[in-house]
A and B are shown apart, each in its own frame.
Chain A
């Protein structure tokens, strides 16, 4: 199977750090991507991991453990504009297509 699981909603305070977790079935995917999607808009690419470890990109970092089927997106110094859905996506082994998780809706409060 290719199930991808994420928490449905999270809330955090402006200026704080938040970690959004993603778990998936290890046999299904080649790489793990993170996308941001504001309400009513298209997803935009944030980061991806093919190998285990941490990838840092400004205020955003993403981590992958392939053996555990686990990834997380870390957002630092939260800003109000970070309120959005964060989508975890794997690349399936069969058609080499993106399979998206249900997304985590993050609300950043003042």
Chain B
């Protein structure tokens, strides 16, 4: 069973607010990811990390930022939320930095910006 947790599960906030989506894993995985997924649509990679102090932007342009100060923790921050940020955000981790190992996903955060 995967040990990767995201909080909050659901969030409704007003435009212009700063928010941080939390993601933690207890598996000691070096590689972590953030994906964005609209309902019924495909997952898009927005950020990833190879390990502590490593952060990279993914394929989908995003106004969010991430940090990786500890192996187990990979928070995602939106400095000023907008309605266009409304989506589901999925955090994942994998054992291998080279990618040839399955990714374990958290339950996701469904964000609504009003």
CB of B33 within 8 Å of the partner chain: yes
Asked if A91 meets B104 with Cβ closer than 8 Å, knowing A43-B43, A97-B48, the reply is: no
For the complex with contacts A31-B99, A92-B99, A97-B99, 16 further pairs of A-B residues with Cβ separation under 8 Å are: A33-B102, A33-B103, A41-B108, A42-B90, A42-B108, A43-B43, A43-B90, A95-B56, A96-B31, A97-B45, A98-B92, A98-B103, A100-B42, A100-B43, A102-B41, A103-B42
- In contact, B103 and A102 (Cβ under 8 angstroms): no
Q: For this complex, into which size category does the number of interface residues on chain B fall?
A: 20 to 34
Asked if A45 meets B100 with Cβ closer than 8 Å, knowing A95-B48, A100-B43, the reply is: no
Contact with A along B73-114 (1 / 0, CB 8 A): 000000000000000001010000111101111111000000
- In contact, A102 and B97 (Cβ under 8 angstroms): no
CB of B58 within 8 Å of the partner chain: yes
Q: Within 8 Å CB of A100, what residues of B?
A: 35, 42-43
Q: Within 8 Å CB of B43, what residues of A?
A: 43, 87, 100
Main secondary structure of the interface of A (DSSP, over half): strand
- In contact, A96 and B97 (Cβ under 8 angstroms): yes
- In contact, B100 and A101 (Cβ under 8 angstroms): no
Contact with B along A46-60 (1 / 0, CB 8 A): 001010000000000
- In contact, A98 and B99 (Cβ under 8 angstroms): yes
CA distance A22 to B55 in the complex (A): 30
Q: List 19 A-B contacts (CB under 8 A).
A: A30-B100, A31-B99, A33-B103, A41-B107, A41-B108, A43-B103, A50-B100, A95-B56, A96-B31, A96-B98, A96-B99, A97-B99, A98-B33, A98-B92, A98-B103, A99-B45, A100-B35, A100-B43, A103-B42
**B-to-A contact residues, CB < 8 Å:** 31, 33, 35, 40-43, 45, 48, 56, 58-59, 90, 92, 97-100, 102-108
